Amino acid sequence: MKLIKLGILQTIMNRMSLIAGLVFGVVLLHYFASQKTVTPKFEELALGKGTSTSLASINGVQIHCYDLNDAHQCLDGYVKQAIDLPVALWLGNSQVHAINQMKSGDETAVPELHRRLIDQGAYFLTFSQPNANLQEHLLLFHYLHDRLPVKKLVIPVVFDDMRETGIRTSLVDVLKDHSVSVRMAQTKIGQRLLADNGDQDAAGNDMSALEDTVQEASEKWLNAQMDKLMIWSERPALRGQFLLSLYKLRNTALGINPSTVRKMLPGNYKLNRQAFEAMLDEARRQGIQVLVYVVPLRNDVPIPYNAAEYSNFKTDMQALSISMGAHFANLEDLVPAEYWGTKQSTAVGSKQELDFMHFSAGGHNLLAKALYQELQVLQTVGATP
């Protein structure tokens, strides 16, 4: 009898915990929903007030996209406009789509490069994601190369992004593409990414263990019913706002700001380097010319990197690029101090902070000219053996 009573008590406690969790969750959703109008997008953690996002289009045709969610816009635009032109593909991070202190008429480097290259018979397309790592670039490269006649590839290497790892949920479905998964399985890093990113739901949770079970059916039904509620359907954005608040709280607690020195994470660096090598090798085998460049970096104040590690990173990227037949350019000093600005604080209650990654339209103009010149070198000497 005592065991029965304990079992009943445990059941009651479990249900009370579930109810408490549901109530807490709903309260959090409502709170962050009420903050939506003043909270920046989660995808743009590095951005904020003073820094704007600009995805370029030409004559209403999208030439700059983020990831799998909007890739169809750029792909459809190419089909409608390109008349089978060869494609020059630029894969980047938020530096490519962000403009500091943006004014009317300002634009990123993307449309200028598109206009210049289309006059030479090449169609310039860009995909960029905040804090994009080279593992993600590898995956997106495979996906886009299957759908576009890519003949040139532009890849920035970023010290900060070598600290990132894994595949974001907006790209994970690329692994379900048979052609992509077959090529990924041919490399060590590809096998790692396939193993680490099995069947997932919209929130990034592993669903492979639930396949064909009662739990799977019940969860799908429950999600379908909950999706009818507006606040539930907005949960990805609300989750992002919640994580952004935690991100700022962490930075405040640890005293982290854009000037804080970030050290290399050896494990993540190794994975990104493997992805970079795999991408360069695939491009070489496919006869794709590659331009690799070190991104512009603010240099009017001490950089937020360990100097020795940053120097080793540049040397390593250059050596690997050249050994794989790519053209390498160091553009870190390209953008002068007057084109760099400030951005919204990444800590709680702080003022504007120095921005080491994003610059104004003047910087984008310089970047467009520099990349165009390097692409002309690529055109002249070639990058494949």
Confidence band of 370 (pLDDT split at 50, 70, 90): very high
- Residue closest to 92 by CA, chosen among 131, 123, 53: 131
One-letter amino acid for residue 175 of the chain: L
Amino acid at site 272: N
CB 371 within 8 A of CB 274: no
Q: Flag whether pLDDT at 69 surpasses 60.
A: yes
Does residue 313 have a pLDDT over 50? Answer: yes
* Phi, psi at 250, each rounded to 5°: -60, -45
Burial classification of residue 225, based on how many CB atoms lie within 10 Å of its CB (0-12 exposed, 13-18 middle, 19 or more buried): exposed
**Residue pair 357/95 in contact by the 8 Å Cβ criterion:** yes
pLDDT of residue 82: 72
Burial of 189 (0-12, 13-18, 19+ CB in 10 A): buried
Of 56 and 239, more confident: 56
Q: What is the pLDDT of residue 204?
A: 45
Per-residue confidence (pLDDT) for residue 273, from 0 to 100 = 97
The helix-helix angle for 2-34 and 235-254 (nearest 10°) equals: 90
Which residues have a Cβ under 8 Å from the Cβ of 255 and sit 6 or more positions away?
Answer: none
DSSP secondary structure string for all residues of 20-45: HHHHHHHHHHHHHHHTTTTSPPGGGT
- Using a pLDDT cut of 70, give the percent of the chain over it: 66
Mean predicted lDDT score pLDDT of the chain: 79
pTM: 0.75
pLDDT tens-place string over residues 7-53: 566 666 655 655 555 555 555 555 544 544 433 444 454 455 578 88
Decide which of 88 and 22 is more confident. 88
Instruction: Delimit the domains of the chain by residue range.
Output: 42-171+229-381
Query: Quick check: 289 pLDDT over 70?
Result: yes
Look up the CATH architecture of domain 42-171+229-381.
Answer: 3-Layer(aba) Sandwich (3.40)
Residue with tokens 């969790």: 21
Please say whether the beta carbons of 100 and 50 come within 8 A: yes
C-alpha 28/C-alpha 214 separation (Å) is 29
- Tell me which residue of 201, 228, 231 sits closest to 216, measured CA to CA: 201
Q: For 217-233, what is each residue's pLDDT tens digit?
A: 555 555 555 555 555 55
Q: How far is CA 114 from the centre of its chain?
A: 21
Q: Write the pLDDT tens digit of every residue in 108-146.
A: 999 999 999 999 999 999 999 998 999 999 999 999 999
In this predicted structure, what is the pLDDT of residue 384?
43
Token digits of residue 371: 């990349």
Nearest to 359 by CA among 29, 102, 58: 102
The whole-angstrom separation of Cα 175 and Cα 277 is 19
